[in-house]
A and B are shown apart, each in its own frame.
Chain A
Amino acid sequence: MSDTESVYERDRVFWLSIVRNIPAMVFVKEASELRFELFNPAGEALLGVSQADLVGKNDYDFFPRDQADFFTETDRKVLAGKSVVDVEEPIKTPHGERWLNTRKVPILDAAGQPLYLLGISLDITERKQAEAALVDRNRKLEEKEAELRRALDQVLAIEGMVMTAARAAETAQGIVQALDAGDTARARSLAVQLAQEAQRTPG
């Protein structure tokens, strides 16, 4: 092996070992037919497919048609736009549906033509589930609040009656106190007041 080859091999091992140990799915597709060229172990674990089975194939070999269409369309847009794109996408895996946040990066040649598409995907399923749970929790809280407001409106609806009864009780207590004190004039006055209040509409 020449010195140049040795340096190249050392660099290749170095970069591959990084890619292999990143705890996020990393994949590379060639730009023309979007066939997989590289797939790391985190991706293998996520999709339940080995790199050996994946290399040379495209999304249509692994995903339902509508999903493969979506991935391919996004990939084509990234390559055509020649800019990095972040997408959140659900995928079907052997472990059920998972949500991925995927950064898609076009890798261009010296002339600016797309050579590869690099993808780096983070599994954000737990975050998505937490967000959905929060939305659900907020909706339930809003329902509870509306229920509580209706109940409090009902409480306020009887305010007039309760206050009328409370005032009557106070007046009756005043009558008793006046009688105990021998003040019949005051007792009579309060009794008249009580009778008048009883005539009024509650509230």
Chain B
Amino acid sequence: MKRATWNQARLEALIVGNLDAAKVSDAVANGIRRLNLDVTFTKEEASDVLDAMCNEPGTIGIAARFAKVRLVLMPDD
């Protein structure tokens, strides 16, 4: 059974690169909303959010791609 151990704040923390925090927060919130996720979600769903964010133009899309790599390398909870 996949555990819902992820939330918006945890996902935002994966995105680094001196980006504007508000911009990152908006992008993550939009991704979560588009996928109709609950407040907490699974690692796979977190991965889906990042996949959606990869299509964002500019630095957010690039940062999301690196965040996805970071997520893949994280051990499961």
Contacts and interface: CB of A to CB of B under 8 A. Distances in A.
Interface of A: 149, 152-153, 155-156, 159-160, 162-163, 166-167, 170
B69 A155 contact: yes
Contact of A152 (B58, B63, B69): B69
A155 B58 CA distance: 18
B59 A166 contact: yes
A156 B58 CA distance: 18
- The A contact surface, by secondary structure, is helix
B73 A167 contact: no
Interface residues of B, number: 13
Contacts of A155: 66, 69
Interface of B, helix, strand, loop or mixed by DSSP: helix
24 contacts: A152-B69, A152-B72, A152-B73, A155-B66, A155-B69, A156-B69, A156-B70, A162-B62, A162-B66, A163-B17, A163-B18, A163-B19, A163-B59, A163-B62, A163-B66, A166-B17, A166-B58, A166-B59, A166-B62, A167-B17, A167-B18, A167-B59, A170-B58, A170-B59
Interface in B54-75: 58-59, 62-63, 66, 69-70, 72-73
Given A159-B66, A166-B17, A166-B62, 16 more contacts: A149-B73, A152-B69, A152-B72, A153-B73, A155-B66, A156-B66, A156-B70, A159-B16, A159-B17, A162-B62, A162-B66, A163-B16, A163-B17, A163-B59, A163-B66, A170-B58
A174 B63 CA distance: 19
Nearest to A155: B69
